[in-house]
Amino acid sequence: METLIGTLAGIVSTICWLPQTLRTWRTRQTKDLSLSTNLLVLLSVTLWLIYGVMLAAWPMVVANAIAIALVGSIIIAKLKFG
């Protein structure tokens, strides 16, 4: 049961970044995005990834690896278009 809940949490928390990432790259509008907030989120999901690896909690690892890619993409867009 724990793995199911962890997997669902990982799916939902990762999917929530997809609309912002897609919108950012489609519109190239980053003025209203906070670089510092996104950097802190990137740090946060990176630490969660490390923690997941330490626990061998693969749903956590996969979800946070994807989140790193999405948030990292937003940061790249902010630096490129901002």
The pLDDT tens digits for 22-80 are 999 999 999 999 999 999 999 999 999 999 999 999 999 999 999 999 999 999 999 99
Assign 2 a pLDDT band (cuts: 50, 70, 90).
Answer: confident
pLDDT at position 3 is 84
pLDDT at position 27 is 97
pLDDT at position 66 is 97
Q: Please write down the HEC assignment for all residues of the chain.
A: CHHHHHHHHHHHHHHCCHHHHHHHHHHCCCCCCCHHHHHHHHHHHHHHHHHHHHHCCHHHHHHHHHHHHHHHHHHHHHHHHC
pLDDT at position 76 is 98
